[in-house]
Amino acid sequence: MAIRAARSWISGIVFLGGVAVVVSVSAVAFRDMHRDRPIYPGPGVTRVGMLSAYLGDLAGTGLDTEVYYLEGQTPGATVLVLGGTHPNEPAAFLAAVLLVENAVVERGRLIVVPRANRSGFTCTDPGEGHPQVYEIPTPGGPREFTFGSRATNPVHQWPDPVVYVNRLGQQLTGSEVRNLNRSYPGSPTGYPTEQLGHAITELIRAESPALSIDLHEASPEYPVINAIVAHPRALGLAVEAAMLLELDGMNISVEVSPVGLRGLSHREWGDNTDTLALLLETSNPAQGRLRGRTDAALVLTGQDKFYVRAGERNALYVRFTDRGWPLEERVGRHLQALVSLVEVYSAQHRQTPLVMQGVPQLRELRRDGLGAVLQPPR
């Protein structure tokens, strides 16, 4: 009896020791996700602030994030660009990073929030097998970025309710309570992600951007892809910009923000503020359900044989060939569409345009890659 008890104690201690080792070793990788990979402000950045300036309660939390202001010499239109609403959509984040590191505003003002849901950059989604980081080579050495989660890290907001009923009464599955793009217009006293949504809405109210553009990606089987989603007030602008892009050889569709789908940026920014709300989508196989091996190479090259097969049987909403959808192509599409929207707006508002230089374009990115326009690591 005593021997059995001793054995059971020993096996218990050995098991707990094993658990401690596994936890300690794996914790190093998980902790490393909490380290912000640097963004190097370029010559156009005149000021860097924090989002908590618009909602004090965010200060010191894992959801507070940098806001980059690129101000021109003369007044003009203000444009807000959000990247990283969903940190598992890297082209949206990198397009915003390239703006911060390269754009120079001559007239008007550009406000960029590259890590809109900064908390989501500190974890990956369990079960999805995503890489924690990916690297982009630059002439000065590789730049490393984290591949995050679609939603706020549960370390910062947990537990989820069974059903999330957002502020506008929309019923969603519980985990959507951590999805920034279901939380708008947000609430100063709600869940942390709703507070984040509120802070961004307050930023729009305080800074009065004429255009507010939320950058995203979607899986190739998702119907709204390679598209501009526009609030009804921004529809004319989106259609004109899409026509310009088509003339330039870039296929893009325009979708109207659905009335029945509440809590999304393109709907709530437009309904609750004066801004013209738009959302851009590109095609990202790394977040799709049909994807094969999930690693950093898939994130960078966007090549996947299962998607090629799905494309052959017309099951996708984008053309998918062996070439895939490389990251530079997706980032380039975002920036090209952004510039086009700004150009159309500026042409319509000649007294208050936004004039900017240095934004990398699709052709340049196709030719030289992302490494040529990202600043080298310091």
Q: Which of 161, 251, 319, 368 binds other proteins (CB under 8 A)?
A: 161
CB of 306 to other proteins, least distance (A): 4
| Contact between residue 104 and residue 69 where contact means Cβ atoms under 8 Å apart | no
CB of 198 to other proteins, least distance (A): 13
Q: Is 171 in the site for other proteins (CB under 8 A)?
A: yes
Q: Of all helices (H) and strands (E), which one includes residue 67?
A: strand 66-71
Q: Is 40 in the site for other proteins (CB under 8 A)?
A: no
CA distances from 170 to 31, 94, 167, 246, 263 (A): 35, 31, 7, 35, 8
Q: Is 308 in the site for other proteins (CB under 8 A)?
A: yes
CB of 56 to other proteins, least distance (A): 21
Q: Is 349 in the site for other proteins (CB under 8 A)?
A: no
CA distances from 59 to 31, 49, 199, 225 (A): 21, 12, 11, 35
Q: Which range, of 34-42, 121-129, 268-276, 370-378, touches other proteins by CB under 8 A?
A: 121-129
Closer residue to other proteins in complex, CB, 174/377: 174
Closer residue to other proteins in complex, CB, 139/260: 260
How close are the terminal C-alpha atoms of the chain, in Å?
64
Binding to other proteins in span 101-120, by CB under 8 A: none
The DSSP code for 182 is G
> At 303, phi and psi to the nearest 5?
-100, 135
Name residue 279's amino acid: L
CA distances from 245 to 21, 319, 335 (A): 55, 17, 11
Q: How far apart are CA 99 and CA 105, in angstroms?
A: 10
Q: Which of 6, 48, 163, 239 binds other proteins (CB under 8 A)?
A: 163
Q: Is 232 in the site for other proteins (CB under 8 A)?
A: no
Both structure tokens of 73: 């010499």
Q: Is 128 in the site for other proteins (CB under 8 A)?
A: yes
CB of 292 to other proteins, least distance (A): 3
CA distances from 274 to 75, 200, 201, 258 (A): 19, 14, 11, 18
Name residue 270's amino acid: G
Q: Is 366 in the site for other proteins (CB under 8 A)?
A: no
Closer residue to other proteins in complex, CB, 140/161: 161
Binding to other proteins in span 251-280, by CB under 8 A: 258, 260-262
Q: Which of 170, 272, 301, 352 binds other proteins (CB under 8 A)?
A: 170
| Contact between residue 255 and residue 227 where contact means Cβ atoms under 8 Å apart | yes
CB of 160 to other proteins, least distance (A): 7
Q: How far apart are CA 294 and CA 296, in angstroms?
A: 7
Q: How far is CA 124 from the centre of its chain?
A: 14
Closer residue to other proteins in complex, CB, 263/326: 263
> Which spans of this chain sit near other proteins (rule: CB under 8 A)?
22-23, 25-26, 29-30, 124, 126-129, 132, 159-165, 167, 170-174, 176-177, 187, 190-191, 221-224, 258, 260-262, 289-295, 304-306, 308-310, 312-313, 315
